[in-house]
Amino acid sequence: MRLKLWFTIVICLIFSVSLASSALGADTTKLRFAYSMPGKTPPGDSWEWWGEELARLTNGKYKVEYYPLQSLFKVSAAIENIIKGTGDIANFSVRTTAHRYPLLAVTMVPTVPWPNDTQGIHDASVSIMKLINEFPAIQKEVGAFKVLWVLMLTDYYLYTKKPVTKPSDLKGMNIGCGGSQAAFVKAQGGGAVGIIPPRAYMNLKTGVIDGMIMSFNAVRAYKIWEVTKYAYMMPMGRVPLPIIMNLESWKAAPKEVQRLMMDLGEKSLKKSGDGMYAGEKKGRTLWLNAGRKITQPTGRERAIWMKAFEPFEKKWLDDSLKAGRKDAPDVLKRWKEFAAAAWTN
Concatenating the DSSP letter of every residue in 281-330 gives HHHHHHHHHTT-EEEPPPHHHHHHHHHHHHHHHHHHHHHHHHTT-TTHHH
- Bridge-based pairing state of the strands 211-214 and 157-160: antiparallel
Low-confidence ranges of the chain (pLDDT < 70): 1-26
Query: Which listed CATH number (3.40.630.10, 3.40.50.150, 2.60.40.2250, 3.40.190.170) goes with 157-237+282-344?
Result: 3.40.190.170
**What is d(CA 74, CA 71) in angstroms, rounded to the nearest whole number?**
7
Q: 26-151+240-278 and 157-237+282-344: same fold?
A: yes
Concatenating the DSSP letter of every residue in 95-148 gives GGGTTTSTTGGGGG-TTS---SSHHHHHHHHHHHHHHHHH-HHHHHHTTTSEEE
- Bridge-based pairing state of the strands 211-214 and 174-176: parallel
**What is d(CA 76, CA 196) in angstroms, rounded to the nearest whole number?**
9
pLDDT at 6: 44
CA distances from 158 to 22, 28, 87, 228 (A): 53, 46, 33, 11
pLDDT at 26: 55
Find, among 178, 174, 160, 181, the residue nearest to 111 by Cα: 181
User: Coil, strand, or helix at residue 150?
Assistant: strand
- What are the structural domain ranges in the chain? 26-151+240-278, 157-237+282-344
The superfamily (CATH) of domain 26-151+240-278 is Bacterial extracellular solute-binding protein, family 7 (3.40.190.170)
